[in-house]
Amino acid sequence: MIRSILLAGILLTSGTFFSQKLKTVTYQDGSQKLNGLVTSNAGKKLPGVLILPAWKGIDDEAKTAAAELEKDGYIAFIADIYGEGNIPTSMDTAARYSGHYKKNYEAYQKRISLALEELKKNGAIANKIAVIGYCFGGTGALETARGNLPVVGVVSIHGSIGKAQERKNGPIAAKILVENPADDKSVSPEDYNNLIKEMNEGNADWQIITYAHSKHTFTDPKSPDYNEVMAKRAWNHTLMFLKEILK
């Protein structure tokens, strides 16, 4: 009990601690100012990982992931998808903002592409870059693959996996890991089956890992859905995947 309480406290405060080691990188999409974060090893020639945050924007889970990736020898860059002045302040706002980019997927892919360029400018080796994303960011990881952006692989962590029916399936070059919570009510059997069909028709190198007794935001220590055991397994699977494709 005491160990669990201490661990939860560490996880809840880690984002604040790690954010002190992250440097703000300002970049632009036209007139919109974007503020990403890069790890302190920026400038070195290392494999790179772009982190796409959940629907409320850059959060502690993304910052913690960046710090952990730096310790594993990656330059990590957390993308700013919404832009300065557009930080969601409520669930309704987050749903509206994320919904806009899910519908206007080409705009989402553009923001991801701009962040990938910043990651390369900060030292990431161009042919050794992957994308991981949480929730809304997990959707972005899949959009990275669908748009054939220049990455080796993507990891979608409890992301929304469906896409509009009118969008045709196409070739997919990036390797794909989908980390899917078994009890995620936002993922329908139809979405699940359609994703497998899409990846097979795209001749993708793909895998889906489903985590038992896990609801939607099972990897976030601040969420009531948090499942410590499964979150740890998911992170280990992420690291194993990244090591395979980037090192």
| Rounded Cα gap, residues 184 and 121, in angstroms | 37
Is 6's pLDDT higher than 70? no
Place of tokens 């280990």: 236
Residue 30 DSSP symbol: T
Is 107's pLDDT higher than 60? yes
∠ CA 83-110-85, rounded to 5°? 10
pLDDT digits (tens, 9 = 90+) for 61-101: 999 999 999 999 999 999 999 999 999 999 999 999 999 99
Beta bridge partners of 33: 28
Is 143's pLDDT higher than 70? yes
> Quick check: 188 and 163 in contact, CB under 8 A?
no
Q: Which two tokens stand for residue 81?
A: 């998808």
Is 235's pLDDT higher than 60? yes
pLDDT digits (tens, 9 = 90+) for 110-137: 999 999 999 999 999 999 999 999 999 9
pLDDT digits (tens, 9 = 90+) for 161-178: 999 999 999 999 999 999
- Using H for helix, E for strand and C for coil, what is the string for 175-230? EEEEEEECCCCCCCHHHHHHHHHHHHHCCCCEEEEEECCCCCCCCCCCCCCCCHHH
Q: Cβ–Cβ contacts within 10 Å for residue 33, how many?
A: 14
**Alpha-carbon dihedral of residues 183, 90, 37, 238, nearest 10 degrees?**
0
pLDDT at 17: 52
What kind and span of H or E run contains 77? Answer: strand 75-78
Residue 134, helix vs strand vs coil: strand
Mean pLDDT, residues 42-56 taken together: 98
Q: Which two tokens stand for residue 147?
A: 């748009």
pLDDT class of 10 with cuts at 50, 70, 90: very low
Q: Mean pLDDT across the chain, nearest whole number?
A: 93
